[in-house]
Chains A and B, each alone.
Chain A
C-alpha cells in the first residue's frame, strides 16, 4: 500500500525566512503533485512533477522530485504572509488518476 508522509505537519515561520517541506512516499511513482488549500477553501494546483530531477518554480515556491529517493521537496524562499495555507503533496498511485495524499503541512507565516 502506498503511503505518503509529509513533514513537518505544522510550520510557523517568520516573513523573509526560507524553509523546506518534505514529502516522502513508499512505492515507485514518477508523478507527484503539490496543492495549496486556504482555510475553508478548496485545493489549488501548484505543481506537477513528472520525472526524476524535475524542478518547477513559481514565485517564492520551488518544488523538486527525486524518484530514486522517493522524495519531493517544496522550498519556500523569503516567505510572506500570503503563503500561509496548508500544502499537500499527492502521488499518483497507478498512473490512473488515483492520488494518494499526504497529511498536509499547515504553514503560518508571521510578520
Chain B
C-alpha cells in the first residue's frame, strides 16, 4: 500500500448504528486530519492530530469521535448520526502540522450514507 488509504470506501448506516472509519498513511508523516465534504459545500476540517495528539477540534458534534493510536493510523468513530451527516469523509496526512512546505496528502475518502 502507498499513500493514504481509507476503509471502508462506502458505508451505509442507520441512525442508531455505531461504525468506524479507518485511515492509514504510508508516507512517514506526523500529522493526520479528518475532513468532511458535503455536496455543494467546501471541505470542512474536522480534526487535526500532530504526533498522536489532537490539536484541533473544529466544533465537531460529539457523535463523531476521533482516535489516533499512532502517527500512521487515524479512526473516526460514529454513533447516533443524523441524515445530514451523509457526506464524503476524507483523511489526509502531512509531514508535520504547520511546516513551511507542508502539503496535505488525501486518501480516497469514505462515502457515508446515513438512513
Binding site for B on A (CB under 8 A): 4, 31, 33, 35, 41-45, 48, 50, 88, 90, 92, 94-104
Given A41-B108, A42-B106, is A97 in contact with B42 using a C-beta cutoff of 8 Å?
Answer: no
- Contact between B109 and A42 (Cβ–Cβ < 8 Å)? yes
Interface residues on B, range: 20 to 34
> Chain B residues near A92 (CB, 8 Å)?
98, 102
- The one of A45, A88, A96, A97 in contact with B43, judged by C-beta atoms closer than 8 angstroms, is A88
- Contact between A97 and B108 (Cβ–Cβ < 8 Å)? no
- Contact between B97 and A96 (Cβ–Cβ < 8 Å)? yes
> Chain A residues near B44 (CB, 8 Å)?
101
- Contact between B42 and A104 (Cβ–Cβ < 8 Å)? yes
Least CB distance from B9 to A in Å reads 10
Complex: A102 Cα to B41 Cα, angstroms: 9
> Chain B residues near A35 (CB, 8 Å)?
106
- Contact between A97 and B107 (Cβ–Cβ < 8 Å)? no
Given A45-B104, A48-B103, is A98 in contact with B48 using a C-beta cutoff of 8 Å?
Answer: yes
